[in-house]
Structure 1
């Protein structure tokens, strides 16, 4: 699933790459950028807050460099000088749309934000979410790709940004030193969530190679331990039956269950069964023609 997202198999929406100080997601961002530049019909705009243009272009496909437009917000992000190309205060739908119109329009435009963490330091999360939502559905941009340093923000802020993403990739170092782990979550058009976890590596040409599925050696053992925990171990009374008690319980005849022999005896009484005989005496006022004569009705 990681390669499908990076190669833009399902175009459109908002792709979020999440990293921490333990492993940087910028190389993965550049890999997506490099793949997008190789698509001839696509133009890529980059809002660069954390890296210079030379550093960003290093390693990218040089044959399609003319389709990469870098908007420098790295040298003067707060606009302290009068000639700042782009500032954090210009992160609005109107300013970004004006920026995109300054270049020749193509069928597909990809907007790369490096990074959202820098912008979140100067804008409320609600404003960022509204801007991303408008860019995602505005029509001028085919795909929005953003890098987010999750360990710099509160969990609620990260969750709000992630909720907007049609696909988000969380990267972390692999404990066995085999590369890095990417946990990819993608939302289909029907709303279904698909998740995958893979070990990957990136070479000097920014090509991503998926090595294997990421396994959790200790997870199955932990689940086994949890399933074998006896919830009745510390009770002051016994809920279990011994073999002898269970055998006696199975042989016990319940009072409301009739065996075939008992049913036969009740339905077909034998000659020695008891009967009740009633012989009226002289004091009984019994009228055979009117048995209810003694009732005051």
Structure 2
């Protein structure tokens, strides 16, 4: 069961909901808690940032509409130091939360992060006391409110999702201009080949191409000392 991975020695537990099941989030966490702590364990919902019971549940999207991020950060830090609190569950549906830095900062403050990626995959990142971090991936099934999980490799999104190629069809460059470039008719090709362009005038002369040079008065044409004008 997923609860055995989530409800352990880690105190601040962050659930990142990318599936969009926030409406049932409290029921899900309550079931996790009872599966591991028994029916006597009572989950209290955080409303005023002053709660101090053993098991607390906070919906970040709801609290972020009432409290400043700094107030929420102080509350989480206070829960960590409060020995009467055993677990604080933070449920975050990122698309419903502003400002954008709130989610990553709360993740940084948490000991364990559960990311529900879609209706089949989730991951659990655990920060251990020695400073090491483990990140494992699971496939899960949700049956009667209970998560049944099996460890797996990191899902390959390129194979898991059918991708429709929406790239535009290749464009013929010849169709982009006002002049016809390719696919000429026979008579059009002959007319093109017989056309003499301005820079090809030399083809019409008997001498062919020839460079004409008219020296200026200041030109130095002394081949024996071509650099004498430099006064070296």
TM-score by length of 1: 0.47
1:16 CA displacement: 0.9
- Cα deviation digits, residues 227-285 of structure 1 (max 9, x gap): xxxxxxxxxxxxxxxxxxxxxxxxxxxxxxxxxxxxxxxxxxxxxxxxxxxxxxxxxxx
Partner of 1:197: 137
| 1:44 alignment partner, SS class | coil
| 1:155 alignment partner, SS class | coil
Partner of 1:288: none
1:13 CA displacement: 1.3
Pairing 1:100-115 to 2, within 5 Å after superposition:
100=53, 109-113=54-58, 115=59
Whether 1:91 aligns to 2:49 is yes
After superposition, the CA RMSD in angstroms is: 2.7
1:120 CA displacement: 1.1
Partner of 2:75: 131
Structure 2 residue runs of 5 or longer lacking an equivalent are: 160-232
The equivalent position to 2:103 in structure 1, one of 134, 149, 158, is: 158
1:187 CA displacement: 0.3
| 2:41 alignment partner, SS class | strand
| 2:70 alignment partner, SS class | helix
Whether the 8 Å contact between 1:26 and 1:147 is mirrored in structure 2 is: no
- Cα deviation digits, residues 165-205 of structure 1 (max 9, x gap): 100111122xxxxx42212111011121111122211101x
Whether the 8 Å contact between 2:61 and 2:93 is mirrored in structure 1 is: yes
Question: Compared with structure 1, are the counterparts of its residues 208 and 146 closer, same or farther at alpha carbon in structure 2 (3 Å cutoff)?
Answer: same
Question: Compared with structure 1, are the counterparts of its residues 125 and 147 closer, same or farther at alpha carbon in structure 2 (3 Å cutoff)?
Answer: same
Partner of 2:146: 207
Whether the 8 Å contact between 1:200 and 1:208 is mirrored in structure 2 is: yes
Task: Could you list the structure 1 runs, at least 4 aligned residues long, displaced by more than 3 angstroms after superposition.
Answer: 1-4, 25-32
Pairing 1:176-255 to 2, within 5 Å after superposition:
179-204=119-144, 206-211=145-150, 213=152, 214-216=154-156, 218=158
Query: What is the rounded CA distance, in whole Å, between the counterparts of 2:40 and 2:128 in structure 1?
Result: 23
| 2:79 alignment partner, SS class | helix
Aligned residues: 156
Partner of 1:37: 34
| 1:43 alignment partner, SS class | coil
Whether the 8 Å contact between 1:23 and 1:172 is mirrored in structure 2 is: no
Query: What is the rounded CA distance, in whole Å, between the counterparts of 1:160 and 1:128 in structure 2?
Result: 11
The equivalent position to 2:64 in structure 1, one of 117, 120, 130, is: 120
Question: Compared with structure 1, are the counterparts of its residues 33 and 146 closer, same or farther at alpha carbon in structure 2 (3 Å cutoff)?
Answer: same
